[in-house]
Every structure is written in C-alpha cells, then in structure tokens.
Structure 1
Amino acid sequence: MTTNDTRDTLQKFIFDNAAVRGELVEIPDTWREIQARHAYPKAVRTVLGEMVAASALLSANLKFNGAIVMQIHGDGPVRLLVVECDAGLRIRATAKLAPDAEIPDAATLHDLFNAHGKGRFVITLDPADKVPGQQPYQGIVPLDGEDMATVIENYMLRSEQMDTRLWLAADDKVARGLLLQKLPRHSGVEGQTKQATEEEDLETWHRATMLGATLKRDEMLTTDIETLLKRLFWEETIRVFDPVHPQFHCSCTRDKVGNMLKMLGQQEVESALAELGELGINCDFCGKHYDFDKVDCAQLFATDSPVQTLMPASGSTH
C-alpha cells in the first residue's frame, strides 16, 4: 500500500481473481524539473504533462531493459512533443513549437498538432542492450482522438490488441494518471491464485472502467493517488504492490552529441564551423551545453566508430 511518502509515486494493483490490472501515478517533482527548463504555453504544458504520466504508466509494464519514447509529430503550432521513460521510470521530456507560435490557453489537441490532419502519434521501444543490427520497435498511427488519453487508448487497441483505459490530468504542479487494462485470458496475473471465468473477467472489467469514468480532471489534480485508489475501488477486492518512484533523468552525454553531429555529415558540420567558428549544442531535454571546436569535429570524423541512431529532439545547434 502507498505511504505518506511525498515523492513521485506509481502504484500497481490487480483485481482479485480477474485478469484486470491497474496503476495510479502522481508526478510532482519530475514534472516541475521538466517545466523549470522551458516556459511552455498552458495548453502545451497540459498535453506534455499528460504524456509524462502516461509514459510512466506504460513503462511500468514493460518486460525489457530499455526505454519507451512517446512522440507527437504535429502540423500545427506545436511541431513535436517527446517524452522518454526507461525501465527504471527515469523520465525526460521536451517540446518544439513552430516559430512565432501563438497558442491560446484553450487550444485543443487538434488545434495544437493536427490542424491539417497530418499529426502522428509514435511509440518507440528502444532496448538498452541491442544486439548488432537490431533496430528499435516503432509504432506509428494517426493522431486519432480528442485528448491524449484517447489517442493512447486507440494506439494500444490498434497496435497491441489490448483493452486499455486511461485517465490523465496535468497542471503546473502535478501530472497524474490512472491506467486500467484487461489482460488476455490465462495470462498468469502476478499475485493471483485463482483463474476467473471469462464472464467474471468481463464483469470486473466493465465495473472497473465504469468506476474509473467517474473521475473528473479537477479531482485528479487535487487528490493524492492513495486517496483516489480508496475512493474509486473501496468496494472491490484488490491487491496492491510496493510503490515505485519515477524521477527526472537526462541521458545526454558528450559522446551522444558527437554522434548527432556525425549523423549530420562532415560537409554540413565543416560548413557550420566555417561560419560560426565552433558549434554550441544545447540538450533540448535538460539544457546542458556542449561545445565542439574544429579539432573536436575533426576527431569525430577521423574515427571509424559506427553512427548510432538517436531519437529526435535530443539536441539543437545554435
């Protein structure tokens, strides 16, 4: 059961004797760390915060050593949102806006990312221990939904064939979320001693999602997850697991930034050096600055080390 610990917390639980599981997450500290590095408009902040909560909820169920990277590629005033969460629930996030973008507080998901119907939602599973030649798994779908929770639900149903319901909320103080999933029959749910019938599974699933649907955004933003768990499922027999704690972490390094420059190509880098004298690169996630002069860049292209694929928005050149 959760405690009075005020850290970022993710709480897993299962419904007794039914193939239904859930998670609640609240992320105040990491979310403030992310916001401290960028002043995002309110509407952008809301969607990015909801993605932060969702990334932790989905990552907590991954069975591999790696990271889940969630992206929205937009054709409106917001061009890109990126949230990365690894198996240890270490999270980083950033957003790229169009030049001179003016975004009202009430802007919808469609207004922000899908103004011309070309918005895309992408989830990448990037293993940390890839074997030579192995590529990350990537799923790309249209930006289908009126809010972030619906977009992810549709993705999970289309790409993973898994019934998933999400409730997400974020403001400038906290990002919270609830996930419910109906698991495949005979999936061996951890902690259960009895296999429910298919009818019992369906009954529990429908009841759980009906309870989840009573959640209001303001309630999520002002209520801690321990209270939410009790308030929603006090009549249910559920089992809870030890909570885990998301945290902010940026994985940028000088080597990774150098690799990004190699991806640009020697001709483009030398052209930029001729104009600027040296290259200054800021990590879009944490703001850390890296300088590369002519000697540094020459060493990059003198080595025979292979170029590794980097996720978008890992850095920008100034």
Structure 2
Amino acid sequence: MSDDQTPATADIIQRFLFDGSDIRGEQVTLADSYREVLANNPAPAPVQQLLGEMLAAVALLSSTLKFDGVITLQAQGDGPVPLMMAECTRHKGLRGIARTPESGVFELGNDTSLAGLLGQGVLAITIDPDQGERYQGIVPLDQASLAECLEAYFSQSEQLATRLWLAADGKRAGGLLVQALPKQLVADEQVNAEQWDTVVALAHTVKSDELLYLDHSQNLYRLFNEMAVRLFDPQPLAFSCTCSESRSLNALAQIKREELYEILTEQQHITIDCQFCNQQYRFEEPQIRALFDNEPPTVH
C-alpha cells in the first residue's frame, strides 16, 4: 500500500449476501485488536502472521454464533510453536496466544509454512455456549494453510461448501469467507453449482493487500461487481480478555487442596498470570482456604 492510500476501516466484521443465490459471505479487517494481541505475544514475524490469520479466522467463524458464548480455534502440534489459540465471543471480543516452548525461545528453521511452525498436529474448533452443551470439531493439520484446514473442517463436520482467504502482516489481519447456504432460493442443482463456482472464482482473485488495506465496500465491489451483493452494517471487534479473579479462583478449585496448601507454605500466596493479557491475580491464604470450607475432610 502506498503512503497516499487510506487504510480500510479496521476492527470490523461485515456480512454480505448474494441476491438471488444461496450464498453468504463475511469480511473482516483487524488492526488495533491484532496489535494488542501481539503486544502480549512477542514472537518472530512468521508466528505473528499466523496468529493474525488465526484471529481473522475465528472472527469470521464467530458469525455462526446465535447465542452468548465463545468460539475457540486451537492449533496444537509438535513443531517449534506447540500451541496457538484464538477466541472470539458472540459480542466480538477477541483474544489470542502463541505459546512458546518450555525454554521460552523460538528456534524457527527456514520452513515458516503452517507445517514448519506447528508441525504435525490437530486443529480444534470449539463452541462453548454460556448455556448449553459444548461442541468441538477436530481436523488434522495436514493442509498447506490454515484456510485450507478450516475448509476441510467445514466439508467434514458441517458439510457446508466453504472457502476462506486469510492474510496478516504484523500490523493488520484480514479475511474473507464465502459459504453455500441450505437451498432456499435456487432449487436447480446446476444453477446453484454454477453460482457457487462463479463466486469462488471471483473471490479467488483477492490479494493479501486488498484484504488488509482496502475498504470492505471497495474490495467487495472489485471482486463481485458483476453480481448483486447486499452489504450489511459492519460490527465492531476489539481485544477483550475474559479472565477474572473469580475465574482464576475457579481454576484453583480444580487443584487438590493439599497441593495448594503446600504452595502457600512455601510462598505465602498463590499467583495466576493470564497468558492472554498478562494480568496477574494474587490470592492469599484466607481466599484459598475459603475454596474448601464446605468440603468434607479427606479420610486417610
């Protein structure tokens, strides 16, 4: 992007439909929210770029949430970056993390592809509603890109034709999704397939810089000016961490009290650091003992 170009409005997600067809789309652009995540995840550029793609992808996937809750995208493998995770709430709060090895030092080789960073592993998509049952789908990290892994997930788990294009450059992240809907408007199979092939072919011409720096309406017009596209109002996204003192206490309550008391004996307090936002929660002995006040004593 040249200096005289105006960057696209960022930290928004925008839905669109193709009139006269059973196809929907979403476009997202992130800037401030992406930079806030990176501020808590110092890492080499290839890792930051992949984390940006994860954030853009999970924002796009959040459009499927019809209830209060969180959708999580987690990649776990045996590569130099053992774990990468991004989350988005229905209310469009984003957070993410790239976990370093135990040494805390990244040692990347020349291969900075998806496989080069994450190695062999799995990609999990988890939908966690505030009320109701948790759902998780898992696919192997056996495709060339994150977008292709997600496409495989939709094909296998959701059985919905879905295509994604993702980009990130350490400053901005963006993504485009098009998805076939259950047939309502077009009953003819051949017409339906032709419309889908046309949309995918046009979307496939998108360039990374356009995803990152073009205004949504400009980009969608450039891609689909031959079609009738209905653009909905954009929704804002922002970095938001769901950590809290009560959640941290709940996490401690899952640990055996003998282990917690041993830590208290050694340190006089217990601290929990949020890896997403670096917030630190410190708990003194009375707070820890209160967790177990109503528990029956352990019988040996």
TM-score (norm 1): 0.85
Structure 2 residue aligned with 1:281, among 257, 272, 285?
272
Match of 1:81 in 2: 84
Matched, 1:129 2:134: no
Match of 1:292 in 2: 283
Q: Distance in 1 between matches of 2:16 and 2:187?
A: 17
Match of 1:183 in 2: 181
Match of 2:116 in 1: 111
Matches within 5 A, 1:196-215: 197-215=188-206
Greater CA drift, 4-13 or 147-156: 4-13
Match of 1:251 in 2: 242
Q: Distance in 2 between matches of 1:224 and 1:97?
A: 34
Q: Distance in 1 between matches of 2:269 and 2:80?
A: 31
Confirm or deny: 8 A CA contact 1:277 1:293 kept in the other structure. yes
How far off is 1:196 after superposition? 5.3
Matched, 1:63 2:66: yes
Q: Percent identity?
A: 40
How far off is 1:256 after superposition? 0.4
Residue 78 of structure 1 aligns to a residue in which SS? coil
Q: Distance in 2 between matches of 1:295 and 1:283?
A: 22
Q: What code does the residue aligned with 2:160 have?
A: M
Distance 1:243 1:219, change over 3 A: closer
Matched, 1:161 2:172: no
Q: Distance in 2 between matches of 1:221 and 1:32?
A: 14
Confirm or deny: 8 A CA contact 1:127 1:136 kept in the other structure. yes
Match of 1:190 in 2: none
Q: What code does the residue aligned with 2:284 have?
A: D
Q: What code does the residue aligned with 1:19 have?
A: D
Unaligned 5+ runs, structure 1? 187-193, 305-318
Q: What code does the residue aligned with 2:79 have?
A: G
Residue 273 of structure 1 aligns to a residue in which SS? helix
Residue 60 of structure 1 aligns to a residue in which SS? helix
Q: What code does the residue aligned with 2:80 have?
A: P
Match of 2:214 in 1: 223
Residues 28-66 of structure 1: per-residue CA shift (max 9 Å, x gap): 121111112221221111111101111111111222221
Q: Distance in 1 between matches of 2:48 and 2:110?
A: 10
Confirm or deny: 8 A CA contact 1:71 1:82 kept in the other structure. yes
Residue 302 of structure 1 aligns to a residue in which SS? coil
Confirm or deny: 8 A CA contact 1:43 1:106 kept in the other structure. no
How far off is 1:211 after superposition? 0.9
Q: What code does the residue aligned with 1:178 have?
A: L
Match of 2:254 in 1: 263
How far off is 1:219 after superposition? 3.5
Confirm or deny: 8 A CA contact 1:70 1:123 kept in the other structure. yes
Structure 2 residue aligned with 1:13, among 10, 13, 16?
16
Q: What code does the residue aligned with 1:40 have?
A: A
Match of 2:37 in 1: 34
Q: Distance in 1 between matches of 2:78 and 2:40?
A: 24
Q: Distance in 1 between matches of 2:179 and 2:294?
A: 48
TM-score (norm 2): 0.90
Confirm or deny: 8 A CA contact 2:9 2:215 kept in the other structure. no
Confirm or deny: 8 A CA contact 2:29 2:211 kept in the other structure. no
Q: What code does the residue aligned with 1:244 have?
A: Q
How far off is 1:222 after superposition? 3.4
Confirm or deny: 8 A CA contact 1:281 1:291 kept in the other structure. yes
Match of 1:316 in 2: none
How far off is 1:111 after superposition? 1.5
How far off is 1:104 after superposition? 4.9
Q: Distance in 2 between matches of 1:272 and 1:120?
A: 34
Matches within 5 A, 1:222-241: 222-241=213-232
Match of 2:3 in 1: none
How far off is 1:261 after superposition? 1.1
Distance 1:241 1:265, change over 3 A: same
How far off is 1:266 after superposition? 1.3
Residue 254 of structure 2 aligns to a residue in which SS? helix
Unaligned 5+ runs, structure 2? 1-6, 296-300
